[in-house]
Amino acid sequence: MMLPGTIYLLINNYLPMFGTLIAFKSVDWSKGILHSPWVGFDNFKFLFRTSDAWTITRNTLLYNALFITITPIIAVSFAILLNELRSRLAARFFQSVMFLPYFLSAVVVGYLGYSMLSTEFGFINTHVLEPLGFDAIAWYSEPKYWPYILPIVYIWKNIGYSTVIYLAAVIGIDNEYYEAALMDGASKWRQAISITLPQIRPIIIILALMAVGHILNADFGLFYQVPLDAGALYPTTNVIDTYVYRALLTLGDVGMSSAAGLYQSAVGLVLVLTVNLIVRKINKENALF
Amino acid sequence: MNTATANAPSRAEGFSKPAVKRINAISPSTNLIVTLFFIVYSCVCLLPVLLVIAASLSDENAITLHGYSLIPKVWSTSAYHYLMFDLHKILAGYGISIASTVIGSLSGMMITALYAYPLSRMDFDFRGFFSFFIFFTMVFGGGLVPTYLIYTNYFHLKDTLLALIIPGLLMNAFLVLTTRTFFQQTIHPSILESAQIDGAGEFRIFFGIVLPLSLPVMATIGLFYTLAYWNDWFNSLVYINNDNMVNLQYMMYRVMRNLQFLQSHAQSNTTVGAEEIAKMPNETVRMAMCIVGMGPIVLAYPFFQRYFVAGLTVGAVKG
């Protein structure tokens, strides 16, 4: 029974892990990958000498750090507020609407972004900035705006998903806690801080842990499709994933590309283990493994 | 959704509210503010989608003059007429998308259930090993380059339908663990024991008892796989060079970059002359393409999302 799944994992996940050895080789197609000469850490030296390495690492880390912090804050607030709404029907309706963007592919989100941001015809330039008397902004050639645009798009697309998870946790909290709080005269605010948050802390921690482990893995679709692959925006939109892709398929630089990929996976693994260890020290219950 | 319904006494849907909960409810004025806030946020969620729908139904000149607006200044369906010229191409894209989604989701569900079931059995000797075997893939991976080389050089998947199905999508570790949790919680070991006593083999038990009892979780993971396959464009981008083998999402991606992508094959098609192509309404046709690609998901959404929510709330998974 385990056979099909095991074979698939071997091919799809474990073979490429051994394949990371390419990062230490100088690939010569005439000799084949296995017989290509070993070059130690040359590919890595190469990678870290370029200014790109610094840019893509910085972008990946900062964007992901921002996503990891704001997602739980917004999603938990939304979940608590939705749970407090007097009408179940309304709460359910809002939840459904918020969840819709999660179903749209990155390509579609790229289109939606274009309809808002297109320099000549976009909704923002023609219906927001011009009526207010501002000049139109060339969104797709100005890197400085993207550190704001990308997080907004990310939240817009993913917040419904996170809210659903937290809402399930909030609904699951035993009502007796709130009854006791009510007897003691706790305000709503106090109840949220002293009961709701501590009760859902484990799930927040687990999700954050998973996210921290992937802090060098950016959402490829978001960073590739939404800026429409515009070269002018690379300083603020190029992340490790998009860099690896471009190095492999547009530059054909196998060594550099696989070095960047291994750097990404290795740091991720170390981070998962470290963060998990710290959480274990503080509270064994909340650790992942 | 107006505030009148929001202020109505809460109905007992899903779970009943005890009296205390009512005393503990927020005041009507606060409720109004929160409701208004969510109404505004819902509009923000829907605005871009409505904008694209409006743009696709608008006249090109109106867009050139006034930009995209929520209500078309001049209604026109000409964008869709232009897409009709490339109908065969769009239908081919639909075909590829549907084929890979159906085959991929069904295989994915089967492999997932087959892998998850032994993991849920406490009496399976290698449970620890196989659990770690799948968990490790969640925290470490080879990266794009080795994966690409293995699939292209060793398995020769380039430009085949399998390239859209196999790499990266066929088995999702998170879904395997979700399925395992469901098996553990709902299938009582005593049922399995009695089946064994009656002489049923492991496969007979799995297909005859476990799967029929697990329809809810199968429906949920099936939806997750369906969505992943339908929305995937990355495998087309990486593994497909032949323009006749790409799926719908990738087609949309190419049209966004370059509208000529659709007509590259229409040149031979004499119904469309060169001057026709020259005055092709760019902006609106783009948006019409987006609607054509987005349609199925948005239409299926109301039916899907209940199961999705149910699946997400199966609970946190611990390895």
Assess whether pLDDT exceeds 60 at residue B153. yes
Contacts of A161 in chain B (CB under 8 A): 312
When pLDDT is averaged across residues B148-171 and rounded to a whole number, the result is 88
Residue A287 has a pLDDT of 65
- ∠ Cα B60 B290 B76 (to 5°): 30
Tell me: the pLDDT tens digits for B101-112?
Answer: 999 999 999 999
Q: Does A9 touch chain B (CB under 8 A)?
A: yes
When pLDDT is averaged across residues B282-310 and rounded to a whole number, the result is 83
Helix axes A146-171, B282-312, angle to 10 degrees: 30
Contacts of B37 in chain A (CB under 8 A): 81
Helix axes A240-249, A51-84, angle to 10 degrees: 130
Residue B100 vs residue B298, higher pLDDT = B100
Measured CA to CA, the distance from residue B131 to residue B139 in angstroms comes to 13
When pLDDT is averaged across residues B254-271 and rounded to a whole number, the result is 61
Residue B292 structural domain: 28-317
Measured CA to CA, the distance from residue B96 to residue B101 in angstroms comes to 8
Q: Closest-CA residue in chain A for B69?
A: A123
Q: Note whether residue B250 is domain-resident.
A: yes
Q: Note whether residue B18 is domain-resident.
A: no
Residue A151 has a pLDDT of 94
Q: Domains of chain A by range and CATH?
A: 20-282 (1.10.3720.10)
Range of lowest pLDDT (B14-28, B87-101, B267-281) = B267-281
Mutate to test the interface with A, among B145, B147, B238 (most CBs of A within 10 A): B145
Cβ within 8 Å of A, B 7-46: 7-11, 13-15, 18, 20-21, 23-26, 28, 31, 34-35, 37-39, 41-42, 44-46
Measured CA to CA, the distance from residue B247 to residue B89 in angstroms comes to 10
Q: Note whether residue B220 is domain-resident.
A: yes
**Contact between residue A248 and residue B145 where contact means Cβ atoms under 8 Å apart:** yes
Residue B232 has a pLDDT of 93
When pLDDT is averaged across residues B249-270 and rounded to a whole number, the result is 68
Residue B265 has a pLDDT of 44
Q: How far is CA B78 from CA A245, B56, B61, B207, B253, in A?
A: 37, 9, 12, 52, 21
Tell me: the pLDDT tens digits for B269-280?
Answer: 444 455 555 556
Using the beta-carbon criterion (under 8 Å), do B135 and A289 form an inter-chain contact? yes
Residue A30 has a pLDDT of 67
Q: Note whether residue B8 is domain-resident.
A: no
Q: How far is CA B113 from CA B100, B176, B202, in A?
A: 19, 7, 14
Mutate to test the interface with A, among B41, B58, B111, B144 (most CBs of A within 10 A): B144
Range of lowest pLDDT (A247-256, B170-179, B231-240, B258-267) = B258-267
Residue A11's contacts (CB-CB under 8 Å, 6 or more residues apart) are B150, B155
When pLDDT is averaged across residues B264-290 and rounded to a whole number, the result is 62
CATH number of the domain at B100, please: 1.10.3720.10
Q: Note whether residue B3 is domain-resident.
A: no
Using the beta-carbon criterion (under 8 Å), do A1 and B6 form an inter-chain contact? no
Residue B2 has a pLDDT of 38
Using the beta-carbon criterion (under 8 Å), do A94 and B231 form an inter-chain contact? no
Residue A289 has a pLDDT of 66
Q: Note whether residue B12 is domain-resident.
A: no
Q: At B213, list the tokens.
A: 């009892």
Using the beta-carbon criterion (under 8 Å), do B20 and A178 form an inter-chain contact? yes
Q: Does A7 touch chain B (CB under 8 A)?
A: no
- For the entire predicted model, the pTM comes to 0.85
Cβ within 8 Å of B, A 114-173: 114-116, 118, 120-123, 125-127, 156, 160-161, 164-165, 168, 171
Q: Does A22 touch chain B (CB under 8 A)?
A: yes
Measured CA to CA, the distance from residue B204 to residue B167 in angstroms comes to 31
When pLDDT is averaged across residues B19-36 and rounded to a whole number, the result is 78
Q: Note whether residue B118 is domain-resident.
A: yes
**Contact between residue B214 and residue B183 where contact means Cβ atoms under 8 Å apart:** yes
Using the beta-carbon criterion (under 8 Å), do B253 and A107 form an inter-chain contact? yes
When pLDDT is averaged across residues B94-98 and rounded to a whole number, the result is 93
Measured CA to CA, the distance from residue B210 to residue B186 in angstroms comes to 10
Q: Note whether residue B9 is domain-resident.
A: no
Residue A79 has a pLDDT of 92
Mean pLDDT of each 10-residue bin along chain A, 289 residues long: 82 82 74 74 83 88 92 93 87 89 90 86 83 84 90 93 88 85 85 87 82 83 88 88 86 84 86 82 69
Count of structural domains within chain B: 1
Q: Does B307 touch chain A (CB under 8 A)?
A: no
**Contact between residue A64 and residue A72 where contact means Cβ atoms under 8 Å apart:** no
Contacts of B252 in chain A (CB under 8 A): 107-108, 111
